[in-house]
Structure 1
């Protein structure tokens, strides 16, 4: 059995050293795997305010073409909890048409990769999912093992790390390409350092106003996604009516939403989901339960792939919840959550129910997270700087539905929007069509 406690890595406990400042990049050597990249370690303070001593070493992969005419292209992965350096080969292939003009750089954000926050129980229960509900003990054990340093794993801390990376690279501006949570990180960097950004690519957009732990927009988007999927595969059933009947009959909205969202990564035409929902609505749960179990097994991931410890630490610091933020007292949180659920209406959650909205892993990871000082957040209606921005999404994405993309557009003065039909999450690396990738290449090359 997995241990009932979790441990933080030596990297994220912080090593002895002066508070504040950065030692820059060190230990440069050829990256294992793809040719043409050098790997090094970026030294950053554990606490950017300098109040707490300690330093972290973050792995960085850099293209060897330091004199690229258009400068640095910093590609930010998702999660929160996903590293960057292990994916430099895959991303360099997807971005090959622009890499004569740009120097591709990727980083293992604090708490990820080789420095992943280690929480065995939470990791085993949630894997790579945002939505699978964890047990309270797994959450509390994770937070206790990370300890007080959990307050240094907000998106704001990562943004400060990225500014130190820019300085270490010796460039005045960077172009940022973020996917999923990486879009939120890119937006936050642009808001904090508007004069340091040349262009932004935001793929599978999380709006700068933050994610909704109740997932109301994804639940409201499910009818649109399933109807369009049904039309594309020529199905003869009503998947939205089937979904509503299944959730009302069996009370399994959390499991169903988790499975449907994950399935979009595997097969964005949702044909298997549509069939399983119809059979379940007719009284045969076998196929739907198999799909739920299969996607949960497919979500299994090591912390070095997606750290659930970092995922929880960051979301709990960044998020806004029915009880407030991470500095709210534990007493009263569950009552506030129950009250918020009772105030929801079918217009809020669509074919799901209030129990789905209040029972998701993204919520339950934080209701039991210990009281932690909440970092400042940028004002909700502050606009991104007036640099060129590409907003990219797939119309079949339920993880970051295109409704979020259009929300972000309202705060983006120079936005170009590309929505790829039949694609789901992470258009640049997962879409079958080249439409989105070509849009990115054209945008980055100023076409």
Structure 2
């Protein structure tokens, strides 16, 4: 999950039984598969082999005969039919992300042996177009990441954040429709099982990334016998009480883990975007600039908001730490703000895209687990975080719109355990701003004997075939292609 951020969670107990009754394996799975009408996909950048279809699933799995929602699916069939093992579902990050184009995109990074073995399956999770959509109908100003990410005022006050949370939550309740109440990680995991059944597969393999690791873990907990080979890449903390709060809070640690890597890069001799002579100078330089922009914002036409203030700079820093390839963009912004030269063109997504991502993200994280309603809880957390982690200025412990969400969760989060087959491989970078190693180790602990973990001596989010290591990539690819997995956890340099 490159930006939308970390957020999401679920239901059940150690038994893995979710609200309602688990849908049994259908004897007519092949009939379900034949009901999918595969045809051409919309989009100019897609691999011509990619096909698309639509699957209807219950809006509320507790009412299987009630209203339905559409899920948009995609696939590229296994390239060597004689070697085909089954389907590999590409579970996107977010929440709010989609993998509908991934069979044509990231799926083509997979080695030939994996592409020979699996149909590559993508999907747009409920709430995301072209699946059945929802929207909070937010005002333009509330689509800014500095609104959905609750950065405190320069003096540490959170009054403005609480007002924003109430305004945004009210808009979601007013405009989101019934679907808004049925977007959660449990719903997503059940949709995954509906996809499996519609494909005619008795077992499903998956590659989940970022938030997709939590969806994958929950699916494996609820439907352990329906899993084949599961790769979880850039792992969330499956906190059994408040998963999303744990993810947001841990951002303060993720930034502390990763900013030194940016500082080393930004102080390297010969770097055209060099900010300082030594790495140790970059952090205080950044903090001074953020404080100056708190007092004296710089106009930034076309951005949202249309100024570069301290919190916009902090959010830009957080965005750029996802991937070392984005370091130059952050350095250019810092240099322009320092020197008073024109700022780079803002990279602001269209409002339509931001509406969908914000709505699905908010619904998931707010429906998954109960958030505190007490102002004092957030005030105390923000003050403590600002003192210990000045780079993130208290944002990770502040009040998201979930603090004012109008509905309570339908069920508690799913507790991830070691019950089920030992068929999970975790892939994790040591330095990951969005899903830090400390949280990934909680996923490893929860899965116990079911999993083996590959830790990469590498920096950035999205490890497998992106920001990881050759050793880690080879380990995950071998597991998907052959089922061979290390006997114990390994460290890859």
- How far 1:215 moved relative to its partner? 3.0
How many residue pairs were aligned? 405
Residue correspondence of structure 1 range 14-163 to structure 2 within 5 A: 24=32, 25-32=35-42, 33-50=46-63, 53-65=66-78, 69-97=84-112, 98-114=114-130, 115-121=132-138, 125-126=142-143, 131=149, 135=164, 136-163=166-193
**1:104 match: secondary structure:** strand
Q: Residues 261-302 of structure 1, C-alpha deviation per residue, up to 9 Å, x if partnerless?
A: 21134644735646866998xxx4858x957x83xx345563
Higher relative contact order (CA 8 A, sep 6+): 2
Contact 2:362–2:402, Cα closer than 8 Å, also in 1: yes
Residue correspondence of structure 1 range 283-362 to structure 2 within 5 A: 284=338, 290=343, 294=346, 297-300=347-350, 302-303=352-353, 307-323=357-373, 333-342=374-383, 346-347=387-388, 349=389, 351-354=391-394, 356-359=395-398
- 2: CA distance, partners of 1:302 / 1:427: 29
- How far 1:41 moved relative to its partner? 1.4
**One of 394, 418, 424 as aligned partner of 2:455:** 418
Q: 1:52 to 1:185 in 2, by over 3 A?
A: same
- How far 1:212 moved relative to its partner? 2.7
Q: Residues 196-231 of structure 1, C-alpha deviation per residue, up to 9 Å, x if partnerless?
A: 112221122112222336833221232331223333
Compute the TM-score of the two structures, normalised by the length of structure 2. 0.70
- 2: CA distance, partners of 1:304 / 1:269: 20
**2:221 match: secondary structure:** helix
Contact 1:74–1:176, Cα closer than 8 Å, also in 2: yes
Q: 1:84 to 1:221 in 2, by over 3 A?
A: closer
**1:208 match: secondary structure:** coil
| Aligned-CA RMSD value | 3.6
Contact 1:428–1:437, Cα closer than 8 Å, also in 2: yes
Confirm or deny that 1:369 pairs with 2:397: no
Contact 1:122–1:142, Cα closer than 8 Å, also in 2: no
Contact 1:75–1:178, Cα closer than 8 Å, also in 2: yes
Compute the TM-score of the two structures, normalised by the length of structure 1. 0.77
- How far 1:382 moved relative to its partner? 2.8
Q: 1:411 to 1:373 in 2, by over 3 A?
A: closer
- 1: CA distance, partners of 2:458 / 2:184: 34
- 2: CA distance, partners of 1:110 / 1:410: 30
Contact 1:117–1:310, Cα closer than 8 Å, also in 2: yes
Contact 2:74–2:100, Cα closer than 8 Å, also in 1: yes
Q: 2:264 — aligned with what?
A: 231
Q: 1:42 to 1:172 in 2, by over 3 A?
A: same
| 5+ residue gaps, structure 1 | 1-19, 324-332
Q: Residues 101-144 of structure 1, C-alpha deviation per residue, up to 9 Å, x if partnerless?
A: 11211121111121232334267643678636683434421221
Q: Residues 285-325 of structure 1, C-alpha deviation per residue, up to 9 Å, x if partnerless?
A: 858x957x83xx345563399522111111111145333xx
**2:170 match: secondary structure:** helix
- 1: CA distance, partners of 2:189 / 2:216: 8
Contact 2:89–2:121, Cα closer than 8 Å, also in 1: yes
Compare 51-60 and 199-208 and name the one that shifted more.
51-60
| 5+ residue gaps, structure 2 | 1-21, 152-160, 269-276, 295-308, 485-493
Q: Residues 217-255 of structure 1, C-alpha deviation per residue, up to 9 Å, x if partnerless?
A: 221232331223333553514233444555667667743
Contact 2:231–2:427, Cα closer than 8 Å, also in 1: yes
- How far 1:52 moved relative to its partner? 7.8
Residue correspondence of structure 1 range 185-334 to structure 2 within 5 A: 185-209=215-239, 210-212=243-245, 215-232=248-265, 234=268, 236-238=278-280, 239-245=282-288, 254-265=311-322, 267-268=324-325, 270=327, 273=330, 284=338, 290=343, 294=346, 297-300=347-350, 302-303=352-353, 307-323=357-373, 333-334=374-375
- How far 1:177 moved relative to its partner? 0.6
